[in-house]
Amino acid sequence: MEDTESDLRARAEQWAREDPDPGTRGELLALLSAPDLSKTDLADRFASALEFGTAGLRGILGAGPNRMNRAVVRRTACGLAEELNGSGTAGAERSVIVGYDGRRFSREFALDTALVLAAKGMIARLFSRTVPTPLVAYAVTHFGAAAGVMVTASHNPAEYNGYKVYGANGAQIVPPFDERLAARVAEGPAAVDVPLLEEADARSKGLLLDVSSDVETRYLEAIGGLAVNRGGDRSSRIVYTALHGVGDALARRALENAGFSSVVTVPEQSEPDATFPTVPFPNPEEKGAMDLAIALAEKEGAKLVLANDPDADRVAVAVPRRASAGYVQLTGNQVGVLLGHYLLTERATHAGEHRVVMTTITSSPMLSAIARALGVHYEETLTGFKWIANRAVELERAGEAFVFGYEEALGYAVGNIVRDKDGISAAAMIAEMFAVLAARGRTLLAEIEAIYRRYGLFVSTQINLTKHGAEGRAEIRAWMDRLRSRPPSRVGDYEVEAWYDYQAQVCTSRDGQRTPLSLPKSNVVAFALAGGSRIVARPSGTEPKVKFYFDVYEAVARDEPMADAELRAETAVKRLADAFVDMTARRSRR
């Protein structure tokens, strides 16, 4: 114990000596002065270093390698510059786009990044104010940049920040790029020794440039070009909220350009506020996050409610209930299915066009059923939009037309103007779909029911178990290991027909037959159940939790009331989730 504490103290003292930020350096020194280090969170701060997960680096703000701070950012920026220069993909004539949201230290992290890049002889194009994540992704391809950086923690709570890196194709980096970058960072200098130009010097040398507002105009024009049907009833009142993030101005302009002039924003949440005073967890998936927007919708009589998350790469939807007062929030899977079906059935196709739609292994299988019925190429990727975007680029190079991709966590990509999920272009397309259906006397809820009746009812649910600290990470690893080493043959009412170990890249059927999996290695285990249902288990790439996803399929009889079918499916998915969690808990006690 003494040796462990001594080692921890030595590493923390060294980090403090090498930390260029007096604020976080003082934070570490204060922790080191505590009489009992075990009563502090010092061990967790040094338990590991932040790694590129499903959406880049992300962590709690604070001192140490397992936190987001200027030391981590400068070393990452230095590694990125070394990788770009070393790989021959960048030079003085090419640039890196750098943007940031409204979180604490986002501006500082972005400026540090730009000045480190400039010190390495690269041009940094820095947004001069807060911007949405999709605008940064768009700017990478718009400028033909070598890479892009977006400082954001997306939908995480206020104590977090993060760091996304985009490649020259406009998509977030995947292996082997992220692995090479991590190696560059590990081999690089201490944070205090990372070269950094003064801002005035960088500007005078032409190595630090501001991104002009013209890129916003081009982005909005590109969104307008995605329109499938310019008709419909666009007079209905729409309520929009940015959830204290950076999406308000561009989202309203995108909607206005599409003909939606009656958009009302939630005033308390329209401006960036790093404290998120009305939504402690600013994720529109979370219960209560859309309460203010729905209250305003009730007051205004709005038929559609749209909510971006703080960096505007996600969008949530709420609509009036069918047979009672109030509003219902659609799930990410429901919105994804609605958009996918709308684009595949309404979008004009060209002769010889090979269309493709995509989603992730943790999203509803329903898009697969729709694509199969319509003769459209469908693929699944690992969780994280970086996989969808990079695969879309590959398929387009092979001559396929990427129409749409989504993930159940409210992320959607319409077309290829942004190689990431884009809550602004998706909001505009959702509004268009709403207007077109309204002109035909149909609602979004009526449309999803029609889709269920045609293709079958898929119901999904998710259970998250949060485990903090080093012990929590160890417990999550143990859960995943047990699922791999002792896969169940039955879960509740369902026989397990096959299990998928994406870490080992193999699928094993009930009779023992093993089939290789083509997706990249990932810490994910999935179970295919009898009747088309499914379970997926994976640790979160951005939060200290393990996530369990459950999908149940039910056929809908011709004259069966939809409420009866939905109740049957919802009861089945709840029983399945309860049985799986109970099984996991019992195994963990053995």
List active site positions: 154
Tokens at residue 24, please? 């976080």
Amino acid identity of residue 172, one-letter, is Q
Tokens at residue 386, please? 């970086």
H/E element, 359 = strand 355-360
Cβ 478 vs Cβ 523: under 8 Å: no
* Spatial separation of the C-alpha atoms in residues 164 and 139, rounded to whole Å: 14
- What are the φ/ψ torsions at residue 210 (nearest 5 degrees)? -85, 140
Q: How many residues does the chain have?
A: 590
Cβ 327 vs Cβ 294: under 8 Å: yes
* Spatial separation of the C-alpha atoms in residues 107 and 130, rounded to whole Å: 8
* Spatial separation of the C-alpha atoms in residues 424 and 306, rounded to whole Å: 10
Q: Which residue has the tokens 């400068």?
A: 74
Identify the burial level of 326 via C-beta atoms within 10 angstroms of its C-beta, where 0-12 means exposed, 13-18 middle and 19 or more buried: exposed
User: How is residue 303 annotated by DSSP?
Assistant: S
Residue 19 neighbours by CB under 8 Å, 6+ apart: 25, 28, 63, 69, 70, 71, 191, 192
* Spatial separation of the C-alpha atoms in residues 494 and 551, rounded to whole Å: 12
Helix, strand counts (H, E) of the chain: 18, 23
Residue from 231, 243, 246, 98 nearest 157 by CA: 243
DSSP string, 373-385: HHT-EEEEE-SSH
Strand, helix or coil at 93?
A: coil
Residue 217 neighbours by CB under 8 Å, 6+ apart: none
* Spatial separation of the C-alpha atoms in residues 342 and 518, rounded to whole Å: 30
- What are the φ/ψ torsions at residue 32 (nearest 5 degrees)? -65, -20
* Spatial separation of the C-alpha atoms in residues 386 and 180, rounded to whole Å: 17
Tokens at residue 301, please? 């009589």
Q: Do the bridges between strand 534-539 and strand 545-554 make them parallel or antiparallel, or are there none, so unpaired?
A: antiparallel
* Spatial separation of the C-alpha atoms in residues 295 and 156, rounded to whole Å: 24
Residue from 176, 152, 155, 148 nearest 163 by CA: 152
Distances (CA, A) of 251 to 206, 312, 315, 329: 32, 9, 11, 19
Tokens at residue 109, please? 């992290």
